[in-house]
Amino acid sequence: MIQLENIIFLIVAGLGIGLFVWQIRKIRKNILIGRDVELADNPSERINKTLLVAFGQQKMFKRMLPAVLHLFVYVGFLVINIEVLEIMIDGVFGTHRVLGFLGPFYDGLMAVNEILAALVIIACVIFLWRRNVTKVPRLATGVEMRAWPKMDANVILITEIVLMFALFAFNIADLKLAALNNHDLPGSFPVSSAFVDAFGSDAGTLATIASVGWWIHIIGILAFMNYLPSSKHFHIIMAFPNVYFSKLLPKGKFTTNPAITHEIKAMLDPSYQPPAPELDVDGNPIVQRFGAKDVEDLTWKQLMDSYTCTECGRCTSVCPANITGKLLSPRKIVMDTRDRMEEKGEHPAIFAPNHYKELGVERVQITDEKTLLRGYITPEELWACTTCNACVESCPVNIDQLSTIMDLRRYLVLEESAAPASLNAMFTNIENNGAPWAFPPSDRFNWAEDLYVPSKN
């Protein structure tokens, strides 16, 4: 029967979902600040990759302990959502455990749910321990790991624990009430039945606990959902499209700028006719910067990368520059991109950008320029990259940190001629001698002089 409670639920759920949709529209708008790039080729390979890397968590298993713990939370999230669906239906229609008609399947589902919920609690406690007590370096250090990202991680873990406890409170009270009333509760509850007497046997108290547990769980989920767009936890949604649209080409293949190709061809051959430039909505030719200075110069995929980042620091922990104490941290590049994008575009409910200057991070010599380059990311960081692809390889959600680093570098060189002097010397050598060193091209074949091999007979 539908009562006042159900109407309140409907309003709360409607508000929660509405707010979430509103935030998602902002995120979408932000991602579309980026340049267009065609990434829809080869759908079957993309689906395969998504199944392996996103659904299958393939790259997580490079590090066993966090992979297993994360798997508990991930599978728990997937399976427990079936119960959330039931909660929603119960909430709207005033039913009670509406999926109970599934019989043995429902028994199994509830049992798996309970075991997973217990594992989620254990995993989250260990995660909190790793972050706050043992302080695993990749999680606890780095200029980009300022107050907000650290708190964000703790908020998520504590919320997940609270949600699981609310679920148990609801199940325990429900189970005890059923026993008191002598009727069978659909489902099987291996964890809750062990604690079935935890709340005593007063029917009124139990009914309140069941109801409070139920409400905390569902309001918690709605609140958590709306927290996602402001949080690194957004990866639970973004990981899937981000892996789907990730690079299928060899990691060593960097992008080629066709605008430059046309310029060179026209230079070499005066009769060459470059194609007409693309026009914007007002019919004016779109003038594109070479390389990237700010977020609008990056592609939508590079911006999507930044919304997918879980700030786990695997990339930074394998970066040769970072390992040897250079300022470069691939995670910082991705987090800065997101902060700059939200500063420039729209921002979700909770907005906490990086302002290294205000935070007193002196090592990052940013300027007051309102751009990604120099306003957030310094040339020193960009020049420390060896383009070794270790960051790209390590990312569990297929973020391409290197492509962003390269586009920012290109801007420095192509638009500002701001390469380090030694690299400018290398450019000059290539231009003049066809080699990065100052050797005369006529000496190129000298290596072949006085070369012998044993004769076969």
Partner 1 sequence: MEENKRLVKVPTMAEMAANGEEPEVLFWVGCAGSFDDRYKRVTRAFVQILEHVGVKYAVLGTEESCTGEPAKRAGNEFLFQMQAITNIEVLNAYNIKKIVTACPHCFNTLKNEYPDLGGNYEVIHHSTFLQQLINEGKVAVQGGEAFKGKRITFHDSCYLGRANDIYEAPRDVLAALDADLVEMKRSRANGLCCGAGGAQMFKEPEPGRKDINIERTEEALATLGTGNGVIATACPFCMVMMSDGVKNKEQEETVKVFDIAELIAQAEGLSR
Interaction with partner 1 in 208-227: which residues (CB under 8 A)? none
A 10 A CB-CB count for 290 gives: 16
Distances from the Cα of 281 to the Cαs of 36, 180, 300, in angstroms? 15, 70, 19
Subset of residues 292 to 321 that bind partner 1, contact rule: CB under 8 A: 318, 320-321
Using CB under 8 A, which of 1, 4, 133, 448 touches partner 1? 448
* Residue span 188-207 as binding mask against partner 1, x where in contact by CB under 8 A, dash where not: --------------------
> Minimum Å distance from CB 52 to partner 1?
15
Subset of residues 40 to 99 that bind partner 1, contact rule: CB under 8 A: 62
> Minimum Å distance from CB 207 to partner 1?
56
**Which C-beta is closer to partner 1: that of 25 or that of 444?**
444
| Alpha carbons 49 and 73: distance in angstroms, whole number | 21
Instruction: Report the alpha-carbon angle 393-347-300, nearest 5.
Output: 40
Q: Is 143 in the site for partner 1 (CB under 8 A)?
A: no
Using CB under 8 A, which of 260, 266, 279, 359 touches partner 1? 260
| Alpha carbons 265 and 25: distance in angstroms, whole number | 42
CB-based burial, 27-42: b 16+ in 10 Å, e otherwise: beebbebbbeeebeee
A 10 A CB-CB count for 199 gives: 18
Using CB under 8 A, which of 12, 111, 361, 419 touches partner 1? 419
Using CB under 8 A, which of 129, 254, 272, 351 touches partner 1? 254
Q: Is 263 in the site for partner 1 (CB under 8 A)?
A: yes
| Alpha carbons 180 and 225: distance in angstroms, whole number | 36
Q: Is 324 in the site for partner 1 (CB under 8 A)?
A: yes
> Minimum Å distance from CB 374 to partner 1?
15
Please spell the DSSP secondary structure of 29-80, one letter per residue: HHHTTSBP----S-HHHHHHHIIIIIIS-GGGGGSHHHHHHHHHHHHHHHHH
Q: Is 393 in the site for partner 1 (CB under 8 A)?
A: yes
Q: Is 450 in the site for partner 1 (CB under 8 A)?
A: yes
Amino acid at 332: K
**Which C-beta is closer to partner 1: that of 214 or that of 411?**
411
Using CB under 8 A, which of 291, 313, 348, 375 touches partner 1? 291
Q: Is 261 in the site for partner 1 (CB under 8 A)?
A: yes
CB 167, CB 117: distance < 8 Å: yes
> Minimum Å distance from CB 92 to partner 1?
49
Q: Of how many residues is the chain composed?
A: 457
User: Within 13 A of 343's CA, how many CA atoms are on the CB side?
Assistant: 18
Using CB under 8 A, which of 29, 96, 251, 370 touches partner 1? 251
CB 149, CB 335: distance < 8 Å: yes
> Minimum Å distance from CB 39 to partner 1?
16
Using CB under 8 A, which of the segments 1-9, 15-23, 279-287, 422-430 binds partner 1? 422-430
